[in-house]
Amino acid sequence: MKVSAFGYTDYRKFLIDKFEAKKNEDSSFNYFYICKETDIKSPGHLSLILHGKVNVSDEMAQKFAQLCNLKTRETKYFLTLVQFNQEKKNARKKELFDEIISFRESCIYRVGPHLYKFYDRWYHSVIRAIVDFVDITDNYDDLAKMVVPIIRPDQAKTSCALLETLELIKRNDQGFWRPTQKSLDSGSAVTSITINNFVLSMIDLAREAMDRFPREERIFSSVTLGVNEEGYEEIVTELREFRRKAAEIAQKHPAEKVVQVNFQVFPVSRVKGARGEDA
């Protein structure tokens, strides 16, 4: 099994999986061998590293990269990942996060401004996801019924035509519609009115889902927190990373349904010391 650092956002999880893969290939690749090759004092200390109890130095991270036989680009990514996971200062952590994004061999296709018609109707994204695992040719009645809430067949047909024009789906050799990209992302800087309207429409669907689906088929939760600016930025960074991770999880498993994952973070109080608006 090939284990690539590019598939991870936690360097410790990568090392655990990488070491396990190497051990399956060669039984002599155990904790004692790893300690010998990296000058770690004991298997117990190695265990503390792998389980997040002890951090590693840049020198030690380089030794791990060499032990894993990482090539130049993957080594740079791994070393950046180590810094990101261990960094405490939020400003620097954000810089490292941006570096990680630039390194990643991402499964997410970034939608450019010229494709923003894709977000004019909420069901365009749903249909693009459905045709990834359902065989649709011209049976738009069936396609329309698969969308929740149900749309009209003519809307399903028009949506497919738009998605084809935008080169987001195309017919395969059997004539079935298939996505040209596995996952889509508009980016974290959502400023377009079109994108905002899309997000609002998905929030409306979420509200309707409270009554449309039983509790076991949906997850709704919330938490109200008191944070400073640094804490707020850290939460935003984690949400961005999870959005990316969710897309990677979806890519790993064969699809059998389409789900919508929404994120909302917004103030419900004024900043401490700020004056209220005049009445």
Residue pair 108/247 in contact (Cβ under 8 Å)? The answer is yes
In the chain, the amino acid numbered 130 is: I
What is the predicted pLDDT for the residue at 107?
47
Q: For residues 194 and 49, what is the distance between their CA atoms, to the nearest angstrom?
A: 46
Mind listing the pLDDT tens digit of every residue in the chain (279 residues)?
678 898 788 899 999 999 999 999 999 999 999 999 999 999 999 999 999 999 999 999 999 999 999 999 899 999 999 999 999 887 888 788 878 877 754 445 555 555 667 888 889 999 999 999 999 999 999 999 999 999 999 999 999 999 999 889 999 999 999 998 766 665 544 445 566 777 788 888 888 888 888 988 898 888 888 988 888 888 888 888 888 788 878 877 888 999 998 888 888 877 766 554 443
**pTM, two decimal places:** 0.54
In the chain, the amino acid numbered 121 is: R
Q: What share of the chain is helix, strand, coil (3-state, %, to 5)?
A: 55, 5, 40
Q: For residues 161 and 166, what is the distance between their CA atoms, to the nearest angstrom?
A: 9
What is the predicted pLDDT for the residue at 250?
82
What is the predicted pLDDT for the residue at 192?
53
From the number of C-beta atoms within 10 Å of its C-beta (0-12, 13-18, 19+), residue 202 rates as: middle
What is the predicted pLDDT for the residue at 279?
34
